[in-house]
Chains A and B, each alone.
Chain A
Amino acid sequence: MQWLILILAVYVAETLQAALDTVLCVGNIVPDWFVLTALLFVLTVRRPQPLLAGMIVGLAADLSAVGPLGLSTALLALTTLGVARLRRKLHIEHPASRVLLIALATTLYTQGIIGITAIGPSLLMRNTITLFIGAIGVGSYTAAFALPALLIITWVREPRRVNSLGAAGHAPRA
């Protein structure tokens, strides 16, 4: 079921990417809906398989882009794997900390994509700084959309969680 939801989410992300790019563009910076989808999946699903989820979403991102295939697939799989491990080790459950993690992960992913595609003799230090600032912008912008998405997901899943706890004989947490 969760994989079907992920595929639908990828479809919606691609649609949003195509529809809202011109509307949400702020100084050539747009939110990365694919990364947001993958990270939300990893951060909200109970037992995610981050590598597979990142590969699926990354493949969709590769198919939507014009560069070579495989780049987003590998980078997003590694990113989601890192985020899932951090979540498990640090018990990141609060929405604010999740948003910070999404911002950091998106920045690193974007930096990786930019660093690999722009590497070459013409890459200067000034360009590197500009691209790094751009990656931070993409990460922050994407994290800004992550907060309402996380709140909506929590709001949708809360009654189901309470019902499952009540059926198991546990008192629901306040």
Chain B
Amino acid sequence: MTSNQWFNRCSRRCASPSGRVLGVLAVALTLACLSRDVTSQLRSTWQNALRPSLQLIATLKRRTSGLRDRWQNAEVLSEQLATAREQVLVLESKNRRLANLLRDPRRRITVAENRASFTATQQPLIVSRFVEARVLGQQGRALLNHLRIVDAGRAARILPGSFVLDGPGAVLDLGADARLKNGQIVMNEDRVCGKIVEVGPRVSRVLTVDATNYRDIVRIVDRDDPRREHGRGMLEGTGQGSCRIRLVDISRPVTVGDLVYSAAGEDRLPTKLLYGQVDRVEREPGAPHWDISVRPSLGARVPSRVTVLTSEINLVRLANRPLKQGP
């Protein structure tokens, strides 16, 4: 047998299925016989080749772990939502039961007291109260004068409140019985009429804004922009149907048409109290202050119905006892 024939026979055997299987087994045996160093070298090469994909997988795992946390948070939130819905149902049933209890008047009073004590600390310490009053006309004054004469002769000879009928200004049909006091502002629809200067048990006397003795601190604001204040000064009645404002520095930009508001009660009233409008602004040569003339918004007359602005301590706050502090 020549070498060429031997090679051809070997090639045919290797191409047969059994030869291929034998070849595979030979390769496997060769691999199994490799030294440990070669094996570890092959494995490290293979692991290095796999590193990019493993890094990608690690990155994806980090991202998905964030998503998984969000998903778990969503599950927790859904559980909390279910619990909250159950609580809402319970509270609704309680509300229905309480509404049924409130139909009983006696229980209603108890609930109102509890509510008042709860909201007491949320209320201001000083509150404003508006007292509606009527201005007595000539006939009313005449009647009271007649009563004065009768009462004075019958009992103590002096009728309390008799002094209010004398003197200038309007007379209101409310007095100390309505807790009116001196200095309280009398107004009509946010416009100042005057101040109470004398109070009797049943009646009180009002000094109108144009009266000679009338004085009040006022604010002068821009006509177009009420938030711009042009100055503060002392308003005085002239006794001639108008007022004037003193002590306004000439550096203040006061102009004709500016509005004049009361500075009293501005910290606790929802609206501003209007005195009138500036109708003349002058300055004496060398004088440091403006001479401002004001036209009262109500004129010299007093409406038949007025409102007295009173300030008093909030009784709800006084009734609410402070909590006891620890030692």
Q: Is the CB of B24 within 8 A of A74?
A: yes
* Residues of A in contact with B, size category: 20 to 34
Q: Which of A11, A18, A69 contacts B42 (CB 8 A)?
A: A69
Q: Give chain A residues whose Cβ lies under 8 Å from the Cβ of B325.
A: none
Distance (whole angstroms) from the CB of B139 to the closest CB of chain A: 101
Interface check B84, CB cutoff 8 A:
no
In Å, the complex CA distance between A113 and B10 comes to 31
Pair B50/A73 contact, Cβ less than 8 Å: no
Task: Give chain B residues whose Cβ lies under 8 Å from the Cβ of A77.
Answer: 21, 24, 28
Contact of B57 among A19, A51, A74 (CB under 8 A): A19
- Expressed in whole angstroms, the Cα–Cα distance for A165 and B28 within the complex equals 41
Q: B116: CB under 8 A from chain A? A: no
Cβ of A51 and Cβ of B50 under 8 Å apart?
Answer: no
> Does residue A78 face the partner (Cβ distance < 8 Å to B)?
yes
Residue of A nearest to B30 (CB): A70
Q: Which of A27-35, A54-62, A91-99, A131-139 contacts B (4 or more CB under 8 A)?
A: A54-62
Q: Beta-carbon contacts of B23-56 to A below 8 Å, as 1s and 0s?
A: 1110111111010000100110010011001101
Q: Which residue of A has the minimal Cβ distance to B36?
A: A68
B241 → A minimal CB distance (Å): 96
Residues of B within 8 A of A64 (CB): 46
**B-contacting residues, A4-46, CB 8 Å:** 11-12, 14-15, 18-19
Q: Is the C-beta of B20 less than 8 angstroms from some C-beta in chain A? A: yes
By a CB distance below 8 angstroms, the chain B residues around A55 are: 24, 27
Q: A60-B46, A64-B46 are in contact. Are A70 and B53 (CB under 8 A)?
A: no
User: Once the chains bind, are B21 and A81 in contact (CB under 8 Å)?
Assistant: yes
Contacts of B20 in A (CB 8 A): 51
Min C-beta distance of A130 to chain B, whole Å: 27
- What distance in Å separates the Cβ of B58 from its nearest Cβ neighbour in chain A? 9
Assuming the contacts A11-B53, A14-B50, A60-B46, asked whether A70 and B21 have C-beta atoms less than 8 A apart, the reply is no
Give the shortest distance, in Å, between A97 (CB) and chain B (any CB): 24
Q: Can you list 28 A-B contacts with CB-CB less than 8 angstroms, sorted by A residue number?
A: A11-B53, A12-B53, A14-B53, A15-B50, A15-B54, A15-B56, A15-B57, A19-B57, A51-B24, A54-B24, A55-B24, A55-B27, A60-B46, A62-B31, A63-B46, A64-B46, A68-B39, A69-B39, A70-B27, A70-B31, A70-B32, A71-B28, A71-B32, A73-B24, A73-B31, A74-B25, A77-B21, A78-B21
A residues sitting closer than 8 Å to B (CB atoms) are: 11-12, 14-15, 18-19, 51, 54-55, 59-60, 62-64, 68-71, 73-74, 77-78, 81
